[in-house]
Structure 1
Amino acid sequence: MKKIILLALSSFILTAMFSQSTIIGTTTYDVQTNNSSKNRIIVYEDGTISTLWTGSTDPTTAFTDRGMFYNRYDGTGWGAYPTERAEDIRTGFGEIITVNDHEVILSHTLITGTEYAIQLYANDEIGGTTWSETGGSGEISGLWGFSYCPPGTDDIYLINADLQLITQIYFSRSDDGGETWAVANLTLPFLSTADGIPSILNGAESYQVRAHGSDVYVLFGMPNSDLVLLHSDDYGNDGTWERTDILDFPFDNFEGFEQTDIDGDFITDTIGTTDGYHEMIIEDDGTVHVFSDYHRIYSDGFGWIRNFNASGIWHWKTGMAAAELINTELDWVRDDCNIYSPYEGIGGDDFIYRIPAVSTSPAASWDPVTGRLYLLYTMQLEYTDIYDDPTNFAAESFRDIFGMYSDDGGVTWSRQNNLTNTAEDGEENFFLFVDERVVDGKVHAIWQQDDEPGTSLEGDVVHENNLRYQAFEEDDFIAPLGTADFDYTVDLFYVTFTDMSTDATCYSWDFGDGGTSNLASPAHTYATGGSYTVCLTVSNSYGPVTLCQEVNLVTAPVAAFDFDGDPMVTFTDLSTNTPTSWSWDFDDGSISTEQNPVHTYTENGSYNVCLTSTNLGGSNTSCSIVGINLATIAPDADYTYTAVGLNVTFTDMSTNTPTAWSWNFDDGTATSTDQNPSHTFAAGGEYNVCLQASNGGGIGTECKLIQVVTGIDDILNNTLTIYPNPANEFIFVSSDADMSSVTFEIYDVLGKKIPADMIISSAHQIQMNIKNIAAGNYVLKMSTGNGNVMRTITIE
Structure 2
Amino acid sequence: MKTIVLVLLISINITKAMAHMPPNPEFSGLKLCYGDTSLFINQSINTQISLWIIKKINMPMNDTITLDSLTTKNISYVFPTQGTYLVTLIENNGHVVEITKQINIGNTPKAEFGLQECTNKFTSVSTCAGTYYWNFGDGNTSISELPIHQYAHTGTYTVTLIVSNGTTADTLSKAIHINTVGFPIPTYSLNVLNDTVYCKVTGGVWIQGQTSWYWGDGSVTYAKDTFHVYTDTGTYKVRLRAWNACGFTFSDTIIAIAHITAINAKAISNTIQIYPNPATNAVIIDVVPTIQDLKIYNMLGEIIYNSTKIETTKLHINTSNLSKGMYTVQVSTNDKMTTKKLIIN
Asked if Structure 1 and Structure 2 have the same fold, meaning a TM-score greater than 0.5 normalized by the shorter chain, the answer is: no
TM normalised by structure 2 equals 0.31
Q: Which has the higher contact order (CA 8 A, sep 6+)?
A: 2
Tell me which structure has the larger Cα radius of gyration.
1
Q: TM-score, normalised by structure 1?
A: 0.16
Between structures 1 and 2, the one with greater strand share? 2
